[in-house]
Amino acid sequence: MKFGKEFVSQMVPEWQEAYMDYNSLKAVLKDVHNFRRTKIHPRTSSAQASTPGGSALKRRVSMYRAFSGLTGGGRRSSPTSPMSPLRSLEEQEEEVILVNSSRQMESSEARYQTVFLMSSEEGGEYELVFFRRLDDQFNKVVGFYRKKVQEVVDEADELTRQMNALIALRIKVERPDIQPQNNSRSQIPEKIDPPLPINHPVGRPAVMEAIQEVEMSSEDQRPEEEGSSRGNRKGSGNLGAFRPAPLEVLQHVKIHVDPETPISTVKGFLKSSNNSNPAGLSFNKAELKKAEERMIKAFVHFYQKLRLLKSYCFMNQMAFSKIMKKYDKITSRSASKSYLKMVDESFLGSSDDVNRLMERVEATFTKHFANGNRGKGMAVLRPTARRERHRITFLLGCFFGCSIALTVAVLLVVRLRGVFNSPGRTQYMDTIFPLYSLFGFIVLHVLLYAANIFFWRRYRVNYSFIFGFKPGTEMHYRDILLLGLGLAVMTLAGVLSNLDMQSNPQTEKYEKFTELLPLVLLIVVVILLFLPFNVLYRSSRFFLLRCGYHCLLAPLYKVTLPDFFLGDQLTSQVQSFRYLEFYFCYYGSGYFKSRSNKCNSSKVYTTFSFIVAVIPFWFRFLQCIRRLVEEKAPMQGYNGLKYFSTIVALVIRTVYSQFGGNSWRVLASVTSGATTIFSTYWDIVIDWGLLDRNSKNPWLRDKLVIQNKAVYFIAMILNVILRLAWMQVVLGFKETAFLHRTAVVAIFTCLEIIRRGIWNFFRLENEHLNNVGHYRAFKSVPLPFHHDDEDDLKGT
């Protein structure tokens, strides 16, 4: 793989603009190469042929001498050495650039500027442009890296304070007889990690000392953690070298109690807006366990930041090295040595803060959270990425072939045995078809999600970070396809078995068992979804169940992106909720024994059809209300109004589909039209960020991941058409001469699912670009302890 492609593949997607623009610099070097090939080389060869003794070379050297003298005097040879003039000439011949660094008055950051000493040569303006752009890229990279290093250093200070409180809490919980010794300043310092001055340089060793003191504190305070090694230290007489954790720090901290459960949310709402315990800590094991869990997440998150920063530093250094070597190769000069020496001496090449922080984090995490087992600790800090397995590819091909074969078999059975021309056609479409359509809708949604993941990965949309998947557990598009095709095979096998058993005289007597096949398939799917064993992507299944649980109990849980993203998916599966209701009615009432659909005549079923239809929209409405209250964002109020208008339109449409009437038809048309316009505008403008008149891409947005702009216009048109098609399910097209009513409903449901699949890609693309615009490559992790001085700072 060429370095350019490898460089792009190793980029942090959210930091892409902060990397060196390798391709633009290559383009400038291409111009230099083309000019030298067409202009300089022919003239040089002809001049050498016509000028004896290499006068062209002498003229070039004399021009260089004059220019270097103006810029700084050049090197003077010693008159005592006869060889010094020759060495000076060689050194001047090799000297191509001079690199200067200056500090701006506004900040202490150094800016680097390269002086190109050969600009007077023919074609030197191309090389001058190259070095100007190179300096701009280098200053951009150094400034960004310095800023990020400062952020992680500041975060290391906060983690140190958090570890002080955690170790003190461990001692207090496990050995409650120990009391703070405020009078003994020799044993317990007032503050282990004094706050560092704001104007302190970034590469300060105090951060390392603070974390080291955290690691050393409480070394002998936890006998059950260190085991027999404590006994060895006890007899060694070295305990005086360690300072115990300052227990008085517990008098000035509180534990964050965020509303992460419905009970805590209700309690926090009833008590007050402040979720912190005003009395501080109660020193129980539950608090300690929760604090340790949060600190583990914080350390893993922080270590991931350090790894990405280290990769950023290494890849940019490599890029500058590659581009300078390419410059030397094209121009036959020796400028890379001087420039790369400057790179090594700059903050990008000389700062060792990230490496030292990584070492201290590894040592601290291993000692305090892995019981001294480095392998176990590093397995948590560095989760291994999932590898593509050959059996996934094999099973994927097998299921794909089986699904194609079963589809052809179902079509042949329907055609050859005249299933839809038989007297039981209407009965079959009213009962069996809706039961299997539920799985068809799920399969289509899963396949579209797999296509989304494929294109997100292709266009480097960091979906794993946006959804918050645990590193190493995220599913690739092959895994999603495998699940979708596996469910498709089971569904098609059930349909084929149902048709064969129904039309075969030998199995016709097993009519009741035939009707139970869809129920058995549903039970199998539910069992596989809730299976507690570590098979079939347990982490991803539980992630989906957790998000679904949060949707079900909205607004009692804090709303995150995966939660409301799943809620939006459910709004496109309204018909699936209705078919689930039909499952309960059909099998619960025993109608499957006679294959009769009498559910529509039941008042209870009709009443629940209204409730079931609005459930997913109600979830989203409550989520918007929760975000409106928490985030104080007016846009969430407008978004909630959108879902509420959809609920009103859906109820009126359901009434019209049940009872008919011109009045209900007019109301359904007006409300459905209004909510369709509102929702379409929200999709395109708010969720996708398109239709920006002032954008450099007219009517789109400034940043696009797809270069072909026509794709966005096609997506907008399809969104409008498919929304109108979904609205027409109950406004007109109920049944045709060759399509049953349930088939028409299934077609329009599939169109809505397809619309949602298109929406998914552009919605996440817009979220990704927003993160890129703010360089947000990490999510904020809540820390367990809250210090009193933070309240004082907020009060001031």
pLDDT in tens, 442-468: 999 999 999 999 999 999 999 999 998
What's the average model confidence in pLDDT over 524-533? 94
Most confident of 139-143, 327-331, 585-589: 139-143
- CA dihedral angle for residue 553, residue 557, residue 559, residue 561, rounded to 10 degrees: -80
Other residues' Cβ atoms within 10 Å of the Cβ of residue 163: 26
Per-residue pLDDT, 442:
96
Whether the predicted pLDDT of 277 surpasses 50: no
How does the average pLDDT of the chain come out, rounded? 79
Higher per-residue confidence, 734 vs 701: 701
Q: How confident is the model at residue 592 (pLDDT cuts 50, 70, 90)?
A: confident
Per-residue pLDDT, 777:
79
What's the average model confidence in pLDDT over 48-75? 37
Distance set, CA 786 to CA 111, 159, 276, 364 (Å):
39, 12, 9, 21
Q: How confident is the model at residue 541 (pLDDT cuts 50, 70, 90)?
A: very high
Joined tokens for residue 391: 């059996």
What's the average model confidence in pLDDT over 555-574? 93
What's the average model confidence in pLDDT over 336-362? 91
Per-residue pLDDT, 190:
38
Task: Please tell me the distance from the alpha carbon of residue 392 to that of residue 398, in angstroms, as a whole number.
Answer: 10
Q: What percent of the chain has pLDDT over 70?
A: 75
Q: 296 φ, ψ to 5°? A: -60, -45
Higher per-residue confidence, 247 vs 331: 331
What's the average model confidence in pLDDT over 558-564? 93
Whether the predicted pLDDT of 80 surpasses 60: no
Whether the predicted pLDDT of 3 surpasses 60: yes
Whether the predicted pLDDT of 305 surpasses 50: yes
**Window from 59-73, 340-354, 503-517 with minimum mean pLDDT:** 59-73
Q: How confident is the model at residue 258 (pLDDT cuts 50, 70, 90)?
A: low
Nearest-CA neighbor of 758 among 707, 708, 709, 723? 723
What's the average model confidence in pLDDT over 76-89? 38
Q: What are the tens digits of pLDDT across the range 692-726?
A: 888 899 899 999 999 999 999 999 999 999 988 76
Per-residue pLDDT, 594:
77
Q: What are the tens digits of pLDDT across the range 669-690?
A: 888 889 999 999 999 999 999 9
**Window from 7-21, 258-272, 616-630, 756-770 with minimum mean pLDDT:** 258-272
Distance set, CA 760 to CA 59, 82, 148, 441, 765 (Å):
65, 76, 31, 16, 8
Other residues' Cβ atoms within 10 Å of the Cβ of residue 102: 8
Q: How confident is the model at residue 569 (pLDDT cuts 50, 70, 90)?
A: very high
Higher per-residue confidence, 56 vs 314: 314
Nearest-CA neighbor of 15 among 773, 789, 794? 773
Q: What are the tens digits of pLDDT across the range 421-430?
A: 777 778 888 8
Task: Please tell me the distance from the alpha carbon of residue 390 to that of residue 392, in angstroms, as a whole number.
Answer: 5
Per-residue pLDDT, 201:
39
Q: What are the tens digits of pLDDT across the range 165-221?
A: 888 888 888 877 766 655 443 343 333 333 333 333 344 344 444 444 444 443 444
Q: Are 593 and 512 in contact (CB under 8 A)?
A: yes
Query: Looking at the DSSP assignment, which residues form a beta bridge with residue 251?
Result: none
Angle between helix axes 124-174 and 353-369 (nearest 10 degrees) is: 20
Whether the predicted pLDDT of 236 surpasses 80: no
